[in-house]
Structure 1
Amino acid sequence: MRTLWWIVAVLAAALGPAGAAAAQDGFRGSECLAMANATPRATPVSLRRTAVADQVTISYRGHSTYTIETPGGVMIATDYSGSYDTGRVPDVVTMNRAHSTHYTLAPDPAIAHVLHGWGDNGEAANIRLRVGDVLIRNVPTDIRRFRFDDGSGGMIKDGNSIFIFEVAGLCIGHLGHLHTTLDDSHIAAIGRLDIVMVPIDGSYTLSLEGMSEITRRLRASVVLPMHRFMTPLDDFMLRIGASFTVDQRSERSLRISRDTLPAKPTVIILKGV
């Protein structure tokens, strides 16, 4: 119990004096935050599973939309606009507000959980939802004004969300329509990531150099590029460095578990639309 409170204290320190309560609340039930702050050998018992039983299927659907299918049968679609075929109606969709390819205000009513990455009345979105075998939470970031708003320029505080999906011992992050660098408070709130979905356009979101720095800092085992319509992959690979390898695939989907993560950080390019 003392270890738990020590980890909470570390998170609160990183987030600042006002973040103590938020850090304590965010830690509860989050294996990804626990792993990020534990010693390297301290692996929660619940993460010691078999690869076959706990495989997660991740499919690239287009632009910034990936689907995540959990071992328990929950389907999540990221940055959902309704424009891309997801195979079936997702159980959960996440959205970000940059422009209409990242959200819809008229989602299929059969979707049980529609999660906006922006809050109402000027407040940040605060999402912490367990659906079946997956825990979904968010980390807000600022966003530039764009078509969603009045076009007057400037930044909207907490207008974007990084979504984290914790399932089958995997920590999966989707950076959304990221426009800003991540400071220590963001990194602490995100926690450990095994898989991260990164926009690499280098223009509409963050600069390619800035996104490469974030990718290196997050230290995920698997990097899944998205928003990849402008930047040659070679440019991105040059910036993130030789410590990453490239795995170009002819399939749109991959099945992965904690036990089958690559030993070397790997950028996996799934087949596009």
Structure 2
Amino acid sequence: MSEVVKLRWFGHACFRISGDITVVIDPFHERDVGYPTPKTRADVVLITHDHFDHNRADVIEGDFRIIRTPGVHEVMGVTFRGIPSYHDSSRGRLRGENTIYVFEMNGIKFCHLGDLGERLSDEKIEEIGDVDVLMIPVGGHFTIGPEEASELVERMSPRVTVPMHYKTPVIDFPIKPVDEFLRGKENVREFRESEVEVRLPERPEIWVLQYG
């Protein structure tokens, strides 16, 4: 059993969480997004919704299990809970549905919100439960924006918040940069690396990773 969990951000909404098993979330191809195509193996690939910039499981190597639906999924001793939500604030009429994933690895509880576009109800937040590491979209336009993301972080109270799905020099999407989410916030850690070991802080922090 691995005692170390590492978190890597490939860019956009794509992450790799490596511990007892390796999980990749929302992979993409570089010609669709601009970030380099993730080159990695996985045991599990999570797809939050079936849009071109989130669903390219074909770029991932290995004999992996794909999860793309709400519900409870057991893989290699890890329980993945998929919680239904919407990609927009119109109950999915504009951009469809989105699956929030919650799972625990090495005692650390992760939550990836996908392309969340709605304000979550108190009941939905209760269903998600306590979260240690929250991966949250902050760029707006296609998802919740900086203000909505800030409010949601306050309501969910994760130990670590990792912003995603925001404007960078390599992505040509009409979304906002991470600075708008970070404005006025304390305990922001900006890393030079794309991959970090997950050590939960005593006080809540925001982790800004490099893509790659």
Q: Distance in 1 between matches of 2:141 and 2:125?
A: 23
The answer on whether the counterparts of 2:38 and 2:60 sit within 8 Å (CA) in structure 1 is no
Which one of 194, 197, 200 corresponds to residue 138 of structure 2? 200
* 1:111-126 correspondence runs (5 A): 111-117=63-69, 125-126=70-71
Q: Distance in 2 between matches of 1:135 and 1:254?
A: 23
Which one of 200, 203, 208 corresponds to residue 264 of structure 1? 203
How many positions carry a matched residue from both structures?
198
- Secondary structure, aligned partner of 1:212: helix
The answer on whether the counterparts of 2:27 and 2:38 sit within 8 Å (CA) in structure 1 is no
Which one of 97, 112, 117 corresponds to residue 179 of structure 1? 117
Q: Does 1:64 align with 2:13?
A: yes
The answer on whether the counterparts of 2:49 and 2:114 sit within 8 Å (CA) in structure 1 is no
The answer on whether the counterparts of 2:40 and 2:61 sit within 8 Å (CA) in structure 1 is no
The answer on whether the counterparts of 1:133 and 1:168 sit within 8 Å (CA) in structure 2 is no
The answer on whether the counterparts of 1:65 and 1:78 sit within 8 Å (CA) in structure 2 is yes
- Secondary structure, aligned partner of 1:213: helix
Please state how far the C-alpha of 1:87 moved relative to its aligned partner.
4.1
What residue number does 1:141 align with? 85
User: Post-superposition, which runs of at least 4 consecutive aligned residues in structure 1 deviate over 6 A?
Assistant: none
| Amino acid in structure 1 at the alignment position of 2:5 | V
The change in CA–CA distance for 1:216 and 1:111 in structure 2 (over 3 A counts) is farther
Q: Distance in 2 between matches of 1:200 and 1:164?
A: 19
Deviation track 1:40-83 (CA, whole Å, cap 9, x = no partner) reads xxxxxxxxxxxx9522100011110000001x2x1111112354
* 1:71-150 correspondence runs (5 A): 72=20, 74-83=21-30, 84-97=36-49, 99-104=51-56, 106=58, 110-117=62-69, 125-126=70-71, 128-144=72-88
What residue number does 2:178 align with? 233
Greater Cα radius of gyration, structure 1 or 2: 1
- Secondary structure, aligned partner of 2:87: strand
Q: Distance in 2 between matches of 1:53 and 1:65?
A: 22
| Amino acid in structure 2 at the alignment position of 1:236 | F
The answer on whether the counterparts of 2:23 and 2:43 sit within 8 Å (CA) in structure 1 is yes
The answer on whether the counterparts of 2:39 and 2:61 sit within 8 Å (CA) in structure 1 is no
| Amino acid in structure 2 at the alignment position of 1:79 | D
Please report the RMSD computed on the Cα atoms of aligned residues, expressed in angstroms. Answer: 2.6
Please state how far the C-alpha of 1:112 moved relative to its aligned partner.
2.1
Deviation track 1:145-179 (CA, whole Å, cap 9, x = no partner) reads 9xxxxxxx82567x111101211111100000001
The answer on whether the counterparts of 1:98 and 1:143 sit within 8 Å (CA) in structure 2 is no
Q: Which runs of 5+ in 1 are unaligned?
A: 1-51, 118-124, 146-152
The answer on whether the counterparts of 1:79 and 1:94 sit within 8 Å (CA) in structure 2 is yes
TM-score between the two structures when normalised by the length of structure 1: 0.65
The answer on whether the counterparts of 2:43 and 2:65 sit within 8 Å (CA) in structure 1 is yes
Please state how far the C-alpha of 1:267 moved relative to its aligned partner.
0.8
Q: Distance in 1 between matches of 2:58 and 2:78?
A: 25
What residue number does 1:24 align with? none
Q: Distance in 2 between matches of 1:108 and 1:232?
A: 27
Q: Which runs of 5+ in 2 are unaligned?
A: 31-35, 168-174
| Amino acid in structure 1 at the alignment position of 2:13 | S
